[in-house]
Structure 1
C-alpha cells in the first residue's frame, strides 16, 4: 500500500516510523510519503490560509496549495480522505475496508476549516468522533495505524487482529499471562486447564459479558449465532437477577 499525507506539519507523523507501522515500512509492505503543502503555496509569504468570504471568525485553508500538491502526487484510483469533524465516523469496519486499497491519501487541515472546493478532490470525509482537534494530523495518524496493522503480512498472525475488540463485532475477552498468582490476583482456573473447548466457551462468554456491560450498543445490530444468543440470554437474566 502507498499512503500520501498532505500536511503543514510533517514532523507530527514521526510515530508512524516506530513500532508496527515502522516495521511494515521496513518490510516494504507499505510506503508512506509526507507532503508539506506549504511548499506549494504560490505567495511570497507561503501562506496556506485566508479569511472567509462573507466574514466570520477564523481562517480557511486555500485550495491552491492543496490542488497543486495533489497534482504532483500519482493518485489515480486512490481513496482521498479529508479529515473533517463533520465526516463519517471512523470505525473498525472502515479500517478493514481501507486496508484493501492500494493507495490512500490523507488531507490534514488546520485553522477553522477548508475552502469548500477542496472537497472536489476527496472521496471520503472522515471524523474520529464528536470532538474537535487542533488539526487533522493526530486523527490521520490514528487512522493510518489502525489500517496498516490489518494489511496481510504486517502482523505475525492473521488471528492477531481478527480477535481484536471490534473486529468480531464484540469486545475482546480478558487475557492473562505469567505469573499465575500475582499479589493474590489469580488467573481463572479454566485457562490453566488445557481444555480447549472449555477455554473457547469461557472466552466467548466473557467477550459477550464485557460487550453487554460496557458497549451494549454494539449488540443492537450484532448477528448472534444460536450459541451466542443462548449465552446472551443467560447473561441478561443474571443481570436482572444476580442471585441466578
Structure 2
C-alpha cells in the first residue's frame, strides 16, 4: 500500500512510522510511505508557507501555492484527505475501508488551517480523528496510518488479532486477557482459561466481551442490532468477570 503524507514536519511522521510493526511493514514492502514537505515547493528565500488571512483575524493560514504544487508534483494516490475537524470521524470501520484500497494520501494542516481553496479544489475529502484540537495534523496522520496498515495481510504476526480485538469483526470490546502468573496478589486467572477446553474458552471469551461492551459501550450492542438469543444464553451461562 502506498500512503503519501504532506506535512511541514515529515520527520515527525517518519520517526513514528519507522518503529515496531509499521517499521517492519515498510522493511517488508507492505507499506510504501512517502513524505512530502510543501516548503520544497516555495519560491522565496524564507520558504514561506503561511500568510495572514484576508479580512483580519488571529493566526496564519497555510498558503495554497505550496500545497497545490507539492501535491501536483507527487501525483499521490487518491483519495487525498485533509486532516481537520470538519470531516468524517475516523473509526475502525473507515480503517477497514481504507485498508481495501491500493493507497491514499493525507494532508496535514498547521497554524489556523488552510486556505479554503485547498479544501475546495485540491483535496477529495476531510477526515477528523475526533473533537479535539491539535497543533497540526501529524499526530492524526500517524494514527490513521497505524490503524490502516495493521489491517493489511501480513502486517501483524498473528493474523487473528485484527479480528478478535476491540472494534474488530465482532463489533464488541475485547474480553479480559491474562498471562502468567496464574495467581498474582490473590487475584487468580479464571479456571476456564486453564481448563484446556477450547470450545468453552471461546464461549467464555465471547460472553465476557458481551458483558464488557454492555457495561462500557452499549451503543456498540445497538449497532449490532441488539442481543441475539445465543448472546443471551452465553450471558446466562457465564457471569461477568469482576475485572471490567
- Asked if Structure 1 and Structure 2 have the same fold, meaning a TM-score greater than 0.5 normalized by the shorter chain, the answer is yes
Partner of 1:228 in structure 2?
231
TM-score by length of 1: 0.91
> Does 2:37 correspond to 1:36?
yes
With 107-116 and 36-45 compared, the bigger mean Cα shift is at: 36-45
1: CA distance, partners of 2:149 / 2:141: 12
Partner SS state of residue 113, structure 1: coil
**Contact map agreement 2:80 2:105 (CA 8 A) in 1:** yes
Partner of 1:5 in structure 2?
5
Partner of 1:91 in structure 2?
91
Q: 1:69-80, aligned counterparts within 5 Å?
A: 69-75=70-76, 78-80=78-80
Structure 1 residues without counterparts, runs of 5 or longer? 240-244
Q: CA deviation at 1:198?
A: 1.4
How many corresponding residue pairs? 235
With 155-164 and 170-179 compared, the bigger mean Cα shift is at: 155-164
Q: CA deviation at 1:75?
A: 2.6
Q: CA deviation at 1:229?
A: 4.6
2: CA distance, partners of 1:46 / 1:37: 9
Q: CA deviation at 1:208?
A: 0.7
**Contact map agreement 2:203 2:234 (CA 8 A) in 1:** no
1:24-67 residue CA offsets vs partner (Å, 9 max, x unmatched): 01101111111111111223321111111122211111111111
Q: CA deviation at 1:230?
A: 4.5
**Contact map agreement 2:81 2:127 (CA 8 A) in 1:** yes
**Contact map agreement 1:58 1:112 (CA 8 A) in 2:** yes
Structure 2 residues without counterparts, runs of 5 or longer? none
**Contact map agreement 1:79 1:101 (CA 8 A) in 2:** no
